[in-house]
Amino acid sequence: MIAAASRPISTDARPDTHFRPAPGPQMQQKHDKSPDGEDDEIVISKSQRKREMHELQALGERLATLNDTQLATLDLSDKLRDAARDARSITAHGARRRHMQYIGRLMRLVDAGPIREKLSEWDGQSRGATVLQHQLERWRARLIEDDGALSEYLAAHAETTPAGVIDIQQLRTLIRNVRDERTRQKPPRFYRELFRELKRIEGDRSPQGDA
C-alpha cells in the first residue's frame, strides 16, 4: 500500500482578525476626560453667561420702574435712559416683552455695578422710610385712643430728642382736635396734621432729618 503524501505545512501564520492596535496618545487624549476638562469649562461658561444675561434683563426691567429724577441720577447711555422712559407707555404684552429684551441688550453695553449699588441704596432708604412710617402711625393711633400714651411718648423720646423739639402743648391740641373731628364726623384734617407733627419731631431729632 502506498502512503498518501503528506500536505506541506505552511509557515505563514494567518492574520488575527481580532487584533486591534493599541490606542495611541491622540486616541487616549480624545476619550480621556478629566473632571476639570475643557468640556466642563465650556458648559460652566455658557451657564454663567446665561445667568448674567438674565440678571441684566431683570436689572433693565427695574430701570423701567424708575422716575425721571432717578434715571437722571444713574450713569446710563441716552439710548438706555430713553428706552426705560418709553417702557412706561408700552402696555401690550408682546410689544412690552420685545421692548424689555431691547433694554436687556442695551444693559450689556454698560457697567451694571454702579447701577446695582445705587438701587440697593435706594431700596435701603425706602425700607427705612416704610418702617418709620409704620412707627409713626402706631404712635398716632395710641395718642388718639389712650390718654396715657402722650406721657409714654415723651418718656420714650426724652433721652434722644433735643430740648425744644417736642411742643407738648401742640401735641395736646392736635390730639384733642382729632378726637373732636371724629366725633363730629368731619374730614380728617387734624388727623393728618398730627402725623406730620410726629414726622417733624422724628426728623428734627435724627441727624438724617437735616438731609
Q: Are 175 and 144 in contact (CB under 8 A)?
A: yes
| Dist. CA 79–CA 163, nearest whole Å | 52
Distances (CA, A) of 166 to 145, 148, 204: 20, 17, 9
Q: Provide the 10 A C-beta neighbour count for residue 170.
A: 14
The per-residue pLDDT for 136 is 94
pLDDT per residue as tens digits for the range 85-144: 999 899 898 899 899 999 999 999 999 899 988 988 888 877 888 888 899 999 999 999
| Dist. CA 101–CA 95, nearest whole Å | 10
Residues 6+ positions from 148 with CB-CB distance below 8 Å = none
Mean pLDDT per block of 10 residues along the chain (211 residues) reads 49 50 48 50 70 86 90 92 93 90 91 90 83 92 94 88 86 96 92 94 59 35
- pTM attached to this predicted model: 0.47
Nearest Cα residue to 199 out of 138, 141, 132 = 132
Distances (CA, A) of 69 to 82, 125, 161, 199: 13, 16, 33, 24
The per-residue pLDDT for 20 is 54
Domains of the chain: 43-110 (1.10.60.30), 127-210 (1.10.60.30)
The grid coordinates listed for 102 are 431691547
